[in-house]
Amino acid sequence: MLLGEAAPRPHRYVQPALARRPARWERGASGPQSGHSGMPPGPARIAEPAIPMRLGEAQPRPHRYVQPALARRPARGYRPRMHGFAYRHGSLHCEDVNLQTLADEHGTPLYVYSANTIRDHYRRLDQALGSIDHEVAYAVKANSNLSVLKLLVAEHAGFDIVSGGELFRVIKAGGDPAKCTFAGVGKTRAEIEYALQQGIYSFNVESEEELRYLNEVAADLGVIAPAAVRVNPNVDAKTHKYISTGKSENKFGVDFDAIPDLYARAAKELAHVKLRGLQMHIGSQLTSIDPFIEAVEKVAPLATHLKVTHGIEFWSIGGGIGIVYHDSLDSGGSGWWEGKPEGERPLTIAQYGEALFPRLEHLGLKILLEPGRLIVGNAGVLLTKCLFEKRGKAKTFKVVDAGMNDLIRPALYEGHHEIAPLKQPTGETRKVDVVGPICESGDFFCQDRELPDFQPGETVALLSAGAYGFVMASNYNTRPLPAEILVDGDTARVVRKRQTLDDLIAGES
């Protein structure tokens, strides 16, 4: 029995919620909110417009590559945005909801996500590969909140998971295990058994040892495990060293040159494994198309060879598309993208599709994408309140109520998050460090940054915090995990409650 047979791709359908009137944040804007992005009011010429979300009719798949979003110009009055966060009437909003209202009602630190930004990113990426047989398998590790997963289930996304826990979440969100690929260098027996029982699409294995172990567990259960090996193409992703994964010195994948032999040995010796595909992922937060092109061009002949010799049916080219962190707020308006000179414009979804489509189109393989950050990164913010301003001899510190336990990216990767007061700033700026309350010198959100001079009692947003934010949060210093809110148009819902003091000691004695 072959577990995890590919589910037939469902027909695209009209998402009922999309037949609604556009939310105010999607419509033509005038007044204060159009000022921030520097865009003129009314319809704008745009570099890469978001999909007009109010239409929502089924998208016919074009035969040849056309930039799908451009094929449908937004209707008059519709003002596309790249994400749902902008100042409106002097206050920072998520879609149609005032963030200060949420902070007052639910307290801080508080994660807030924009549902329409998530849908829009998913759809634009799904359309970027045009007529190629493909699936966007959202990398659950980026943000695994059940309601985020449910949004993507409704879009018919696949899921890239890295643990039994993530598979459990996907199933709880209504996702189909047959659309799940299971990555990671160290899966346990319990995780493999669970995933086999659930019938996942493929185990993406990272070593010969792991492939043999998968074969052993599948034999014990009397089943055949569908698998793909992750090839390490030895391509420099030119990203932070902690999130670069496609070089020979990284722990990920099997050397490019060793792959054909491994597939040949596995076909002969591993009766309980069916090699169904090939996988790669060269790194995260890539802001140039070049490493993607280099990797795809290098690995495409190998994928073709494995298709001919072993009948593989899919090639996962991984995730890794980067997002804008430094100008996060301004990049929500398409005018920001237009204003960037060619060469300085960060990688766009359309550019990704245009570059890769002709290199993948002729292979006759199903192409999987595994984006995480791109889908949710700019769809989330972390709200935090300023507690004190501490003026030291050398520096001024703004002490806020969020810490590195709530958002660890600055401490872990020197990650940059733009900091924006919820009240639209008009006056002075000051060079400050914004720091949390944790007993670590690494507990800061910025150092020596010129920022609007927000005061104790005011709330600020740490932008682009939707990916690798809450999922990496911990109870360090015995601090409760923050609440999470999902905004959809003018509706805001608590999608995870703030932890209580009792939650903090649950299960202990």
Subset of 379-408 contacting ligand PLP (CB under 6 A):
none
**Closer residue to ligand PLP in complex, CB, 159/444:** 159
| SS3 (DSSP) at 2 | strand
Helix or strand or coil: residue 102? helix
Cα gap 402→407, rounded to integer Å: 8
Distance of closest approach, residue 77 Cβ to ligand PLP, in angstroms: 33
Q: Minimum distance from CB of 295 to ligand PLP (Å)?
A: 13
Q: How many residues does the chain have?
A: 509
Based on the shown chain and the rule CB under 6 A, indicate whether residue 56 belongs to the binding site for ligand PLP: no
Q: Counting contacts by CB under 6 A, is residue 373 touching ligand PLP?
A: yes
> With respect to ligand PLP, which residue has the nearer C-beta, 102 or 192?
192
Q: Specify the residue, 4 or 371, whose C-beta has the smaller distance to ligand PLP.
A: 371
- Using CB under 6 A as the criterion, what x/- string covers residues 437-476 for binding ligand PLP? ----------------------------------------
Identify which of residues 253 and 403 has a Cβ nearer to ligand PLP in the complex: 253
- Residue 209 labelled as part of a binding site: no
Strands 429-435 and 396-400: parallel
CB of 212: closest distance to ligand PLP in angstroms? Answer: 21
Tell whether 13 is in a known binding site. Answer: no
Rg (CA), the chain: 23
385: left (phi over 0), alpha (psi -120 to 50) or beta: beta
**Distance separating alpha carbons of residues 94 and 114, to the nearest angstrom:** 6
Say if residue 27 carries a ligand binding annotation: no
Which runs of consecutive H residues, i.e. helices, occur in 282-427? 290-310, 334-339, 349-360, 373-376, 409-413
Q: Is 76 annotated as a binding residue?
A: no
Does position 479 bind ligand PLP by CB under 6 A? no
Confirm whether 439 is a catalytic residue.
yes
**Helices 164-172 and 146-154, axial angle in degrees (round to 10):** 60
Q: Return d(Cα 164, Cα 147) in angstroms, integer.
A: 19
H helical segments located in 132-273? 146-154, 164-172, 189-198, 208-221, 259-269
Classify residue 251 by its DSSP letter: S
283 among annotated binding-site residues: no
Residue 421 within binding range of ligand PLP, rule CB under 6 A:
no
Smallest separation (angstroms) from ligand PLP to the CB of 139: 4
Was 88 annotated as part of a binding site?
A: no
Is 41 annotated in a binding site? The answer is no
With binding defined as CB under 6 A, does residue 124 bind ligand PLP? no
Residue 140 interacting with ligand PLP (CB under 6 A): no
Do residues 453 and 427 make contact, with C-beta atoms less than 8 angstroms apart?
A: yes
Q: How far apart are CA 222 and CA 46, in angstroms?
A: 55
Tokens of 371: 């984006």
* Structure tokens given for 218: 């599948």
How many other C-beta atoms can be found within 10 angstroms of the C-beta atom of residue 185? 14
Which range touches ligand PLP (CB under 6 A), out of 55-63, 101-109, 343-351, 370-378? Answer: 370-378
Binders of ligand PLP in range 280-339 (CB under 6 A): 281, 284-285, 318-320
SS3 153: helix
Interaction of residue 142 with ligand PLP, rule CB under 6 A: yes
DSSP label at residue 8? P
Of 477, 421, 482, 422, nearest to 453 (Cα)?
A: 421
Please report which residue ranges of 182-328 form alpha helices under DSSP H: 189-198, 208-221, 259-269, 290-310
The answer to the question of residue 206 lying near ligand PLP (CB under 6 A) is no
Nearest approach in angstroms of CB 452 to ligand PLP is 30
179 in contact with ligand PLP (CB under 6 A): no
Kindly state the number of chain residues that form the binding site for ligand PLP, as judged by CB under 6 A.
15
413 is in an annotated binding site: yes
The answer to the question of whether 320 is labelled as a binding residue is: yes
Q: Does 126 bind ligand PLP (CB under 6 A)?
A: no
By beta-carbon proximity to ligand PLP, the closer residue of 272 and 281 is 281
Query: By the 8 A CB rule, do 468 and 242 touch?
Result: no
Residues serving a catalytic function are 439
Which residues are documented as binding site for substrate?
A: 373, 409, 413, 440, 468
Q: Contact residues for ligand PLP (CB under 6 A)?
A: 139, 142, 160, 183, 281, 284-285, 318-320, 370-374
Which residues are documented as binding site for pyridoxal 5'-phosphate?
A: 320, 370-373, 468
